[in-house]
Structure 1
Amino acid sequence: MPTRKWTLDEARAALPGIIEITEHAHERSRQLQQHLTKGIRPENEQEGLEDELERVLTQWVEAVQSMGAEVKQLWLVDFDNGRGYYCWQYGESDLLYEHSYEGGFAARKRITTEDQPS
């Protein structure tokens, strides 16, 4: 499937949906991880919690991808802009960063209007 190319406005318009999906999945995974770290439990119960955690994370990835964005790692979403990526990480309230295809997360820089195509 070809990768969608996003304008900054399009990516920002999609972000509230991504944030909602991510907040729900993050909270559910946090709850499951808490249960997993609380004491010793029967093996089948432990496996059930682990399976549910895996399902939550898989569903999050699939939901983000179905919107046309790319999951780069847990709670990190990129929007291909044709020159690199607009980059959003869980906890950020807006799409504020971008990076080149080669640079990755370590090379993130603030988005400036001067950098955007006309």
Structure 2
Amino acid sequence: MRLDRIRTGFVSTFVVAAAAVASVPAVAQSPYDGLWSVTIVTKTGSCEPSARYPLTVADGKVSAAGADVSGSVGREGNVRVSISGAHANGQLSGNSGSGKWNGASGGIACSGRWEASRQ
């Protein structure tokens, strides 16, 4: 009799644990995950006239190999990124996007626009 209760308790616990594991969502992915090519163009100030960065979006987080980049892309495509002290915001939609940025070079303010395309 006692063995039946232990077996029933074990089976019940196993079923509840299996149901809990099955209900845990898979790793979250953003619709904008992937490799992006971002071109930055200076409109005002003495910053570099233009530059191109390969950026990666993974689970909505923005990064770049060997660069001081942090930021995020929301599920609706809103972008907020910091690249080497410059700040950018804008919007992605499908495989492209654009926005504005501002920063400084030698203590002099700079600003401009950026455009991105998914690779």
* TM more than 0.5: no
Q: Which has a greater percent of strand?
A: 2
TM-score normalized with structure 2 length:
0.30
TM-score by length of 1: 0.30
Bigger helix share: 1
